[in-house]
Amino acid sequence: MATAQISILLFMAVGVLSIYDSFRLPHALRPVHYELRILTHLNGPDQLRFEGQVQIDLRVLEQTSNITLHAKNLTIDQTQITLKSRTGNNCINRTEFDEEKEFFILQTCEWLQHDEQYELFIPFEGALNGNESGYYWSSFSDAQTNVTSYLAVTQFSPTFARFAFPCFDEPHLKATFNITLGYHKNYIGQSNTPISKCEEHAKLDNYVWCQHEPLFRTSTYLVAYAVHNLTSADIQSSDTDYNVTFASWMQPEVLEDSHFLANLAPRVLSYLEKLFKFSFPLRKVDQLAVPTHKFSAMENWGLVTYKQSKFTHNDNEELLESKQHKATTVGHEYAHQWFGNLVTMSWWNDLWLKEGPSTYFAYLTLDALMPDWSSAECYIADDLGMFFRQDATSTSIAISRDVDDAASTLKQFSEYVYKKGSLTLRMLHKLLGDDVFFAAIRSYVQRHAYSSVTQSDLWQAMQQAVDANSSIAQLGVAPVMDSWTKQAGYPLVSVMRDYATGSVSVNQMRFLLPGDVQAESANCWWIPLTFVVQREPNFAATQAQFWLDCRNSGNRNLTLLAKPSTREWIMLNPQVSTIYRVNYDAHNWRLIIETLNSTAHVGDIHVLNRAQLMDDIMALAWLNVQSYELAFSMLEYLPHEPHVVPWKRILDVLGKHGDLLRDEQTPLFRRFMQQLVAPLYKSCPALGATRTTSSTKMQEVSLCRLAYAQACRYGVENCISEALRLDRESVDANYRDIVYCASIERGDEQQFRLVRQAFQNATNEAVLESLATGLGCSRNFTLLQPFLDYLLRETDMTRNNCYMQVVASALQRKQVAQQTANHILQHAATLK
Ligand SMILES: *[C@@H]1O[C@H](CO)[C@@H](O)[C@H](O)[C@H]1NC(C)=O
Ligand SMILES: *[C@@H]1O[C@H](CO)[C@@H](O)[C@H](O)[C@H]1NC(C)=O
Ligand SMILES: *[C@@H]1O[C@H](CO)[C@@H](O)[C@H](O)[C@H]1NC(C)=O
Ligand SMILES: *[C@@H]1O[C@H](CO)[C@@H](O)[C@H](O)[C@H]1NC(C)=O
Ligand SMILES: *[C@@H]1O[C@H](CO)[C@@H](O)[C@H](O)[C@H]1NC(C)=O
Ligand SMILES: *[C@@H]1O[C@H](CO)[C@@H](O)[C@H](O)[C@H]1NC(C)=O
Ligand SMILES: *[C@@H]1O[C@H](CO)[C@@H](O)[C@H](O)[C@H]1NC(C)=O
Ligand SMILES: *[C@@H]1O[C@H](CO)[C@@H](O)[C@H](O)[C@H]1NC(C)=O
Ligand SMILES: *[C@@H]1O[C@H](CO)[C@@H](O)[C@H](O)[C@H]1NC(C)=O
Ligand SMILES: *[C@@H]1O[C@H](CO)[C@@H](O)[C@H](O)[C@H]1NC(C)=O
Ligand SMILES: *[C@@H]1O[C@H](CO)[C@@H](O)[C@H](O)[C@H]1NC(C)=O
Ligand SMILES: *[C@@H]1O[C@H](CO)[C@@H](O)[C@H](O)[C@H]1NC(C)=O
Ligand SMILES: [Zn+2]
């Protein structure tokens, strides 16, 4: 390793105004391989640090006289940096940090020659991060002995690898990695790959250096390592091509609650490997339940990390819905092994290329492995509800959009990008059908494995699969799909039937909420039109019958092959497979309402469409395009709606409307809601009986949760008196938070103290959160304030974090919203 020493002219790394105007690295160099050694110290709260060295093999694409890479908050002794080529030595003249761009710039003594390879060696050290980014520390304490154990683990996505070692921290700059970890023998060291060999540390007693097997070409954000003394659950094998073994690690206290997720992961990986027909390339996966985590989970190759509370589940204390949610997270992280890890977006602008598919395939995985949960339908319904509400303002942004700096990159990780990304991929799936869609997905993974892509690579794979299949109508995938990913918002398609001639005229315009102004340039989408007719209500056929494009200002006259009679409805967009709203002429609306209102035929209309029809007509009434009279006549069918999906959507939509009403309208609205919800409430078991009669069926549990919550919110019958009467322990875990909320909202000081005491006694994070949410339902700030103050003083971070739950719930209540907002402002400095 010995090479020429550098003569340092300017010793201090100065934070200069560098010449760069872009946050992207220059194109002159490409990292080929990293040889990384990290020595971790976990000797108590003041000694949480690491020392490291990295040797990066570089290929020169363009002659250059500097090496610009990423580093942040690392201490680097510049006298120890070396640079050599195969043919001779080179050296570093000068280094500087560009703080804003997070660049470390090394000026070389000699020019780096095109096509030549160089070895850059940088030693560095740093404190383990306390912010759950980069290489960070976490801790847990033993309930009996009260001894605190520290651990160190990485969170590199999206731009935090640079906090841990100097690197070319852009996703397309993949390289191979050899990782060697040093630590005290009492700990376990893990990385993406298994250990190949260990040796004693030459100087430090009881320390070892363990070398891990080489890791194939990987983006820096997926590299991972950890040093800990967590406990392992039983090793699991999996039905995968390389017999991948799974180990799950956590603090001993939560071992018992980890079985469900620890056992689910190998099944998920196996299912996805068969679906994508591409072998998972590693031999082992370690799952780490970390007490603190910046996100819910992270999909690092071979070392998947979870926030501990997302990895454990206790059926007696937590919601069934939350179990389902955690299972979805497992599906999501393992779908990433293909979408993100193998095939990576070149840059963060196309983040949706990994988050959309991982979200969508997680739903499909859950349906395959837990069929009685019907997860996909419920999640897609929720995602649609969120999407149609959120993407209806002129301030919304396209999912594929330019980002440059670290902060805007982090902001890309929004629910919106995940959900719209998923809905966009689902649109392709429904449009192309299983065969073509999966053929395309498989060839995309095959072709781009270990490499990086832009969204046009996905469109190209889809196009080839379309072209190769004669059963599917010709279509230009790229222009169609770009119109959905590169534009924000969504269209409203209006359908006017000419009942005399049987022709149908359709047009599109962007849907915006009242008062929102349309931007200068009119938006336009490529919209697949699929009609269903009443006589033959086939909601399974989702391929396009016509296209509505941007010609003729988005207008078209059509003749439907099915020739619907004037007495039967037509309906667009079966299963809401494309993300647009629809308006019809009044006669067609009435025909639809008639079918909904008929017990025998309501089931003819797909459940996702039933939810969407109500959502659409309420939105249209709000816009004054249809009358509220028509909208409310549609809601008359609800008493015989058996499914949670339409209920959930309409109650959500109505709740939002209710929030906007003037004070004098409130009692009327309240009465309307009581009438609407009462039959639903009555159809569920009495709250006090839920402990014994409780269903374990997802559908029923979700529907009753909705019924109790809304009934207590709008004061239906005995919901509140029941909640006040009940001992919380006598209520099933699925409904306990509703009881807390109702009893706190209406209850007196005594109720508040009881729940507060339960909060102080509780240890389970999910229980703490639901109690905190309940306490936030109080209408009396005199009670609330001491509790908020206590939370801020609390050093236990799980409790401290509950401040957010409390204020989130309190801000929704008129009586205390203002005082709560003031409390937040007064304490803004102490809040993270
Ligand atoms: C580093 O080299 C690249 C490529 O030759 C060049 O574009 C860039 O301006 C240089 N940066 C500095 C700080 O010298
Ligand atoms: C590096 O420094 C040497 C001497 O200080 C100088 O001659 C040379 O031009 C410098 N090289 C670069 C690339 O700046
Ligand atoms: C930077 O490192 C120092 C000590 O090395 C540490 O105290 C500080 O918290 C770190 N800051 C960030 C943002 O990680
Ligand atoms: C933690 O992150 C916040 C913002 O996310 C930042 O203001 C703070 O300086 C960071 N603290 C440390 C110790 O890194
Ligand atoms: C455990 O430690 C905390 C502070 O670290 C202290 O407040 C508490 O009393 C201790 N409990 C026991 C049982 O020693
Ligand atoms: C982890 O290490 C700490 C410090 O060495 C020790 O006190 C603790 O008992 C260990 N915990 C486990 C679960 O082994
Ligand atoms: C990585 O480590 C392996 C030994 O585990 C070694 O054979 C290989 O040469 C190393 N790769 C590089 C590029 O140094
Ligand atoms: C996986 O296990 C099966 C049965 O135990 C064995 O036949 C097969 O060779 C193994 N495959 C690999 C790649 O190790
Ligand atoms: C559709 O038909 C109407 C009347 O039949 C006509 O006025 C209109 O121009 C037609 N639109 C298009 C796009 O052909
Ligand atoms: C729906 O059906 C009920 C009877 O089942 C009837 O009273 C009501 O008027 C109908 N509503 C509409 C809008 O047709
Ligand atoms: C909390 O714990 C105390 C002491 O262990 C106990 O007396 C009290 O009943 C508990 N309160 C609740 C609400 O669980
Ligand atoms: C709020 O609680 C305090 C303390 O119990 C009580 O004195 C006060 O009357 C309550 N205020 C209202 C409006 O109920
Ligand atoms: Zn993800």
- Determine the distance separating the centroid of ligand 7 and the alpha carbon of 178, expressed in angstroms: 6
In a shared domain, residues 531 and 454 = no
Neighbours of ion ligand 13 (CB under 5 A): 355, 358
> Domain boundary residue among 195, 229, 263?
229
If you take atom 11 of ligand 4, which residue's CA is the nearest one? 131
Q: Is there a domain that residue 279 lies in?
A: no
Residue 518 pLDDT level (bands cut at 50, 70, 90): low
In a shared domain, residues 475 and 520 = no
> Residue 786 in 3-state DSSP?
helix
Give the tens place of pLDDT for each residue, 814-828: 788 889 999 998 887
Pocket test for ligand 4, best of 131, 136, 294 (most atoms within 8 A of CB): 131
> In whole angstroms, what is the distance from residue 817 CA to residue 811 CA?
4
Q: How many domains does the chain have?
A: 3
In a shared domain, residues 121 and 8 = yes
- Nearest-CA neighbor of 39 among 29, 28, 48, 26? 48
If you take atom 13 of ligand 12, which residue's CA is the nearest one? 780
Q: Are strands 148-155 and 225-228 parallel, antiparallel or unpaired?
A: antiparallel
Instruction: Judge if the beta carbon of residue 55 lies within 6 A of ligand 3.
Output: no
Which residues are known catalytic residues?
Answer: 333
Q: What is the DSSP string of 290-349?
A: ESS-SSSEE--TTEEEEEHHHH---TTTS-HHHHHHHHHHHHHHHHTTTBTTTEEESSGG
**What is the amino acid identity at position 564?**
P
- Determine the distance separating the centroid of ligand 4 and the alpha carbon of 394, expressed in angstroms: 32
Residue 326, C-beta contacts closer than 8 angstroms, at least 6 positions apart: 260, 261, 310, 311, 313
Residue 455 has phi, psi (to 5 degrees) of -65, -25
Residue 96 has pLDDT above 90, yes or no: yes
The CA-based angle 155-308-190, given to 5 degrees, is 50
Q: Is there a domain that residue 121 lies in?
A: yes
Q: Are strands 134-141 and 117-127 parallel, antiparallel or unpaired?
A: unpaired
What is the predicted pLDDT for the residue at 553? 79
Q: Is there a domain that residue 775 lies in?
A: no
- Determine the distance separating the centroid of ligand 6 and the alpha carbon of 463, expressed in angstroms: 56
> In whole angstroms, what is the distance from residue 481 CA to residue 428 CA?
8
Q: Is there a domain that residue 527 lies in?
A: yes
Q: Which atom of ligand 8 is nearest to the CA of 242?
A: 13
Are the CB atoms for 178 and 214 separated by under 8 Å? yes
- Determine the distance separating the centroid of ligand 10 and the alpha carbon of 634, expressed in angstroms: 9
CATH code of 552's domain: 2.60.40.1910
State what percent of residues in the chain have pLDDT above 90: 78
User: Secondary structure of the chain: what % helix, strand, coil (to 5)?
Assistant: 40, 25, 35
> In whole angstroms, what is the distance from residue 508 CA to residue 500 CA?
23
Residue 350 has pLDDT above 80, yes or no: yes
What is the predicted pLDDT for the residue at 450? 97
Q: Which two tokens stand for residue 340?
A: 């993100």
**What is the amino acid identity at position 571?**
M
Residue 631 has phi, psi (to 5 degrees) of -60, -50
If you take atom 4 of ligand 11, which residue's CA is the nearest one? 761
Q: Which domain does 431 fall in, by range?
A: 338-485
> Domain boundary residue among 633, 664, 688?
633
Instruction: Judge if the beta carbon of residue 127 lies within 6 A of ligand 3.
Output: yes
Instruction: Judge if the beta carbon of residue 590 lies within 6 A of ligand 10.
Output: no
Q: Which two tokens stand for residue 302?
A: 């071979």
In a shared domain, residues 82 and 211 = yes
In the predicted model, what is the mean pLDDT of residues 108-135? 95
**What is the amino acid identity at position 205?**
D
CATH code of 27's domain: 2.60.40.1730
CB-count burial class (<10 Å; 0-12, 13-18, 19+) for 442: middle
In a shared domain, residues 349 and 424 = yes
Q: Which atom of ligand 12 is nearest to the CA of 780?
A: 1
CATH code of 416's domain: 1.10.390.10
Q: Which two tokens stand for residue 40?
A: 């971790």
Q: How many residues does the chain have?
A: 832
Residue 301 pLDDT level (bands cut at 50, 70, 90): very high
Are the CB atoms for 690 and 732 separated by under 8 Å? yes
> In whole angstroms, what is the distance from residue 284 CA to residue 723 CA?
49
Residue 779, C-beta contacts closer than 8 angstroms, at least 6 positions apart: 745, 813, 815, 816
Instruction: Judge if the beta carbon of residue 642 lies within 6 A of ligand 4.
Output: no
Q: Which ligand is nearest to the CA of 360?
A: 13
Are the CB atoms for 438 and 425 separated by under 8 Å? no
In the predicted model, what is the mean pLDDT of residues 431-435? 96
When mean pLDDT is compared across 190-204, 438-452, 719-733, the lowest value belongs to 719-733
Instruction: Judge if the beta carbon of residue 597 lies within 6 A of ligand 10.
Output: yes
- Determine the distance separating the centroid of ligand 9 and the alpha carbon of 558, expressed in angstroms: 10
Residue 60 has pLDDT above 90, yes or no: yes
Residue 7 has pLDDT above 90, yes or no: no
> In whole angstroms, what is the distance from residue 527 CA to residue 480 CA?
8
Q: Is there a domain that residue 685 lies in?
A: no
Per the prediction, the chain carries an average pLDDT of: 92
Residue 562, C-beta contacts closer than 8 angstroms, at least 6 positions apart: 531, 533, 535, 536
Q: Which atom of ligand 6 is nearest to the CA of 186?
A: 5
> Domain boundary residue among 465, 485, 505?
485
27 is in an annotated binding site: no
Q: Are strands 343-345 and 451-453 parallel, antiparallel or unpaired?
A: parallel
> In whole angstroms, what is the distance from residue 217 CA to residue 32 CA?
8
Instruction: Judge if the beta carbon of residue 73 lies within 6 A of ligand 3.
Output: yes
Q: Which ligand is nearest to the CA of 105?
A: 1
Give the tens place of pLDDT for each residue, 618-637: 999 999 999 999 999 999 99
Please list every protein residue whose CB sits less than 6 Å from any atom of ligand 1. 18-19, 26, 28, 64, 66, 68, 105
**What is the amino acid identity at position 472?**
I
Q: Is there a domain that residue 265 lies in?
A: no
Residue 660 pLDDT level (bands cut at 50, 70, 90): confident
> In whole angstroms, what is the distance from residue 687 CA to residue 705 CA?
10
> In whole angstroms, what is the distance from residue 663 CA to residue 669 CA?
10
Q: Are strands 92-98 and 14-15 parallel, antiparallel or unpaired?
A: parallel
Q: Is there a domain that residue 67 lies in?
A: yes
What is the predicted pLDDT for the residue at 662? 82
Instruction: Judge if the beta carbon of residue 545 lies within 6 A of ligand 2.
Output: no
Q: Which two tokens stand for residue 561?
A: 């092959």
Residue 305 has pLDDT above 90, yes or no: yes
Q: Is there a domain that residue 745 lies in?
A: no
Q: Which atom of ligand 6 is nearest to the CA of 149?
A: 3
Q: Which ligand is nearest to the CA of 754?
A: 11
Q: Cα dist. 622→337, 518, 541, 631, 770 in Å?
A: 44, 17, 31, 10, 34
What is the predicted pLDDT for the residue at 730? 85
Instruction: Judge if the beta carbon of residue 602 lies within 6 A of ligand 10.
Output: no
641 is in an annotated binding site: no
In a shared domain, residues 82 and 171 = yes
Q: Which two tokens stand for residue 359?
A: 């979200």
In a shared domain, residues 467 and 498 = no
- Determine the distance separating the centroid of ligand 8 and the alpha carbon of 678, expressed in angstroms: 58
If you take atom 7 of ligand 1, which residue's CA is the nearest one? 26
Read off the DSSP letter of residue 649. H
If you take atom 6 of ligand 6, which residue's CA is the nearest one? 149
355 is in an annotated binding site: yes
> In whole angstroms, what is the distance from residue 824 CA to residue 798 CA?
18
pTM: 0.93
- Nearest-CA neighbor of 812 among 653, 659, 671? 659
In a shared domain, residues 439 and 545 = no
> In whole angstroms, what is the distance from residue 818 CA to residue 822 CA?
6
Read off the DSSP letter of residue 251. -
Helical (H) or strand (E) element with 238: none
What is the predicted pLDDT for the residue at 12? 36
In a shared domain, residues 603 and 480 = no
Q: Which atom of ligand 9 is nearest to the CA of 505?
A: 1
Residue 573 has phi, psi (to 5 degrees) of 70, 60
- Nearest-CA neighbor of 584 among 600, 604, 570? 570
Are the CB atoms for 6 and 78 separated by under 8 Å? yes
When mean pLDDT is compared across 29-33, 519-523, 707-711, the lowest value belongs to 519-523
Residue in this structure with the two tokens 């996966």, named with its chain if needed: 285
In a shared domain, residues 625 and 514 = yes
Residue 17 pLDDT level (bands cut at 50, 70, 90): low
> In whole angstroms, what is the distance from residue 122 CA to residue 119 CA?
10
Q: Which atom of ligand 9 is nearest to the CA of 498?
A: 5
> In whole angstroms, what is the distance from residue 812 CA to residue 169 CA?
41
Residue 514 has phi, psi (to 5 degrees) of -55, 140
Q: What is the DSSP string of 337-382?
A: TTBTTTEEESSGGGTHHHHHHHHHHHHHHHHHHSGGG-HHHHHHHH
What is the predicted pLDDT for the residue at 694? 66
Q: Which ligand is nearest to the CA of 254?
A: 6
What is the predicted pLDDT for the residue at 795? 81
In a shared domain, residues 503 and 469 = no
In a shared domain, residues 442 and 511 = no
Residue 514 has pLDDT above 90, yes or no: no
Residue 661 has pLDDT above 90, yes or no: no
